[in-house]
Chain A
């Protein structure tokens, strides 16, 4: 499949030798931004090809993490494979790897070994716990980092202890998002100084980045993030309330929304109650206010509250799931989910582009088959090498 790009990174070339999720989605994001991304797989293939569930035999995880790429197969354990890898790296602007500690050095594909060959290369290394420190070589995975980073300790309800997010992969994708920030910053720096650099990203730092506000509370005031069910430490009201039929999710950020909330619930007297005069006071009187709100919301259907709260400009929604959000007019109108067909594995939906550029529009492209571009890329590479040799 020919990958046509017109995003903001059009003209850049990325070599992505990563596997699983955090590295591959970094490559995918760069591909969605328009770069030509060449995924290099070992002969055995990226392990996510077999992670359950599969669709017509292909790991759906693999499909979602490897959009907008070309795919070649190289065996780094052979001399030819390693030479091809180095030759390819010399033609690239960005290199992405997430090998476990020590492996990349054994392959002699670490930054120190390769930077002389391509000083303009942005070399992105992704790992679990960082490249220094006592856990620098420890293995990691999404649920491990949920545990280590405090992420799981702020979910659930206090009396039940920890609760991890059962939707795994979120920390992986957050790591890819942080890595992409770093790569883009390094690319802009290269525009000025002409040099590439190494960009180190850990799942640990990404896990803290998605907890930015909780860590701000901890570092700023000593408040340790703790589970609060559906409520937050920051705002009141901010939680799920049970209507006559189902739950509705409601947040009040500011005083204008508080006025709207009281109007929607037909409780103008709450506005005059000094206990609820501003958000901090409402947080201090959380239980008292909740005791007032719960029976009111319980008295009418959630759909009623949705209408009346929206009318008054108060953030509110129902919970959705795959079968409802994938057909939701709002989600479709903004391409928040992408759809494509694949020749062998059928129709797929994946997460849509996170950004929508007006002048350099991006798109989501189906992933290639294993080794689909090996011949094309290597022929070009060997042709280039032959030209270089002749010129010598």
Chain B
């Protein structure tokens, strides 16, 4: 950017400039006010972030001081009983498991769609498909939740029974035929929800692959898949990683979709097809209604953990993107 510094007005203005601006005084004041305002807004944003951390930490400390259980290892969430006893073990486990399920399903499919749009789909179809995927990112999470609870849950019973028949011996995939309002279902729903985000970011990265590299590979007789494996995927790897982490950030913090498809319980169970478990965000939404003042502080404590986790995941994703930008500029 070659925008001149603000002190461009300092040299004595030629007579013509006096006609253009209403005198140098107001010019300088205008500049100062405007740059101050815009700088202030930037600082406001930083202050909001700091305030979020500070106030959550403050309320959380109140709750943690009176906690009878161990915040990290207790299974139950009985913040409203006396004495209060609550811990995030089950919530952390559920959050991680449902997010892993979502990532395992969503990332390969999203990369596939991104490749489909950039390299496989007929030209005329590619733009509309990308557009539709964009629109799907805009479907509100509560609608996904409603669909998940009323359509997906009943329709997954058959699949889960099938999994149980052949893979039930693994314990992880055993299932007894009750309504599958489970971590697995939540993970599948989350996968559907984060698919558009991962697809969009990956697609943009794949589309930036240097054309000459692809053509060079083609000229050497590579098949389309070999072109993708040798030029597109290596070029887009960090982009896909950061896209996945953005998706992960969303999956970790998703509230309503999980709250509608999960029957919470205080059990930490490896049987992820079976109803039960919980996630940070789901627990906040589900327990909030019956919580008193102290219960809310406890929920804020779990929210703080979620905040820190998503902060780390998103921060890492952004750093990867930023680093990539620096060296891809040389190729452009």
Real complex partners, A and B?
no
